[in-house]
Structure 1
Amino acid sequence: MIIRLTVNESNTYNEVEITINCPQIDNELERLIKQINQLHITLTGTKDGRTYSLLVDNLYYIESIDNRSFLYNEKDIYESDLKLYEIEKLLASTHFIRISKNLIVNTALIDSVRALFNGKFEASLMNSEKVIVNRHYVKSFKEKFLT
């Protein structure tokens, strides 16, 4: 499919509007839509007594430990008041996918994946961290990551 991009810049516009005209939505277009959706979603996280608004596009993964949710970007860790299932619901139309009972990963920031001997996968993230995709989540992970 050929994609033609047209940008109209003018001071007469009060907001940005993106319109996609297509014969049908294929995998490539679906990926593009998810990326666009992910650009404007933010989560609130706290660190050292301060509260931050974090773009989910910059988050590598979200982990639940002892019923507390933690947001990981390239270098920092923030705590969220939301439960993991609430965050998963908010990020349903993005590149995030659950890979274990306590972890959601941003597939857009995965550098490589390798199969492990026990049916699990190991995903290497662009910040050099590694996360494990549990067997139960491998099928949905492969569908989201490989398409």
Structure 2
Amino acid sequence: VKSILYTVVIAFRAGGRAPDIIDYAASFIAEIRAFEEIKESRLAQYIYIIIVACIAFAVSAVVMTLMLSYISEMGQAPIQAGINIEYLFSVYFYAALLIIAFSSIAIGRSLRGYTPLAIYYAFIMILITSLIFILGPMFIKF
């Protein structure tokens, strides 16, 4: 927008036709706004995909830990008995937090164009993921 206004000022100084220049600048600004609206509506879908992917990782981590806890109970082989379920569960949780950090930065910076929004999306995803990891151990025997 600044470059358009700068162009209008230069055109006025050069003796250009003012109404034509203003009409052209107005139509150009309207096209830029329409493009921004289309871009935001198209990119909004990717925000939901990223959030669902983070939730899917958390759920799959809980399910995997649940399956491994049952396997370690049933088996008496050295490999099966050596699975530390609590350690594995914490590794999954920290991996989920790392994924959330990068995902929220990607949402805030790339998709929304404002990096501080990453804190908002990180808060939402950490809350959901924490609930999944808090409710998950109800089914896991440590």
Q: TM-score range by the shorter chain?
A: under 0.3
Larger radius of gyration: 2
**TM-score, structure 2 normalization:** 0.24
When you count strand as a share of all residues, which structure comes out higher?
1
Which has more helix, going by share of residues?
Answer: 2
